[in-house]
Amino acid sequence: MSFHLVVGHGPAGAATTRLLAEQGHEVRVVTRTEHPAAPADGVEHLALDASDPAQLAEAARGAVAIHGCAAPPLPQWAGRWPALAAALCAAAEDSGAVLVMLGNLYGYGPVDRPMTEDLPLAATGPKGRVRAAAWEQARALHEAGRIRAVEVRASDFFGPGVTEGGHLASRAVPALLRGRPVAVLGDPDAPHSWTYLPDVARAMVEVAGEERAWGRPWHVPTAPALPVRTMVERLTAEAGTDPVPVRRLSPVLLAAGGLVSPLLRELRETRYQFDRPFVVDSTAYEAAFTVRATPLDEQLAATVAWWRERS
């Protein structure tokens, strides 16, 4: 088997690491601080600043693939993403490893149709533009023959191991398991795509070894879009708990909260994702490769079981 470098150990980095280790690969995980957990067999944890090109290039020596799963805290994206993206590209060029970047859908900006990979990266807000620029840099180097790069784009993460981020990750599931109302951004009845975390890892690993995938972005196979309210109802039924109200957070309260919370201030740019349909189309990936979205019933069952075990 081969050696893979995983940059970042959040939910996606941890899931990608587990999958690679299960397949028998040697994995080195780069994080900013020492990881406290005992590493699995074949997994090494290394503490360094991934935005330092020299340190990251040294860590990547001998790797067949670099999986870029790290991200700065949301309020620091504009200031820190450029250095991180540049270091990932430099490490890929120095090592010859395939750069597999984990991306999201911010770069498209507001759209009025299902999102496909051929949409222009037309975001005008700082978070959307900085994510778009990271991929544009990697793609330009790929087209120049200096690196081999591919980007895997996902919608809001959901599933075991996801405790921060979208509605279903940090708010809905723990609330409904306690019989409490679920408060959400935007319109709770607008269709929304939820990408299951294990499917993200499976796509990251698959495209790393598929030369025909390189040089372009791909959407992670994602189940059909469902509104937050429907997802909460399905999760409640899976959990066997009583139905709970789903309430829209007041825009006035969100604006007031933004005065004291940097995170809430940053969410203003991406509020459109919850005020209108936000639907990802992953048919291009499914036509080319083997990963498919995990059936929704399995996603729900695994998520409820994980949260129950955690609590």
In CATH, what number does 157-192+225-279+295-310 get?
Answer: 3.90.25
pTM for the full model?
0.94
* Torsion angle of the four alpha carbons 17, 60, 24, 215, in this order, in degrees rounded to the nearest 10: 80
Kindly give the confidence (pLDDT) of every residue in the chain, 311 residues in length, as a single tens digit, with 9 standing for 90 and above: 799 999 999 999 999 999 999 999 999 999 988 665 666 778 999 999 999 999 999 999 999 999 999 999 888 888 999 999 999 999 999 999 999 999 999 999 999 999 999 999 999 999 999 999 999 999 999 999 999 999 999 999 999 999 876 667 677 889 999 999 998 888 999 999 999 999 999 999 999 999 999 999 999 999 999 999 999 999 999 999 999 999 887 665 665 555 555 656 666 777 888 899 999 999 999 999 999 999 999 999 999 999 999 87
Helices (H), 46-195: 53-60, 77-95, 126-143, 173-177
Sorted by where each begins, the domain ranges of the chain are 3-156+195-222+282-288, 157-192+225-279+295-310
3-156+195-222+282-288 topology per CATH? Rossmann fold (3.40.50)
Q: Which residue has the tokens 């290039």?
A: 57
Tokens of 136: 């544009």
The answer to whether 193 touches 111, Cβ cutoff 8 Å, is: no
Report DSSP state, residue 50.
T
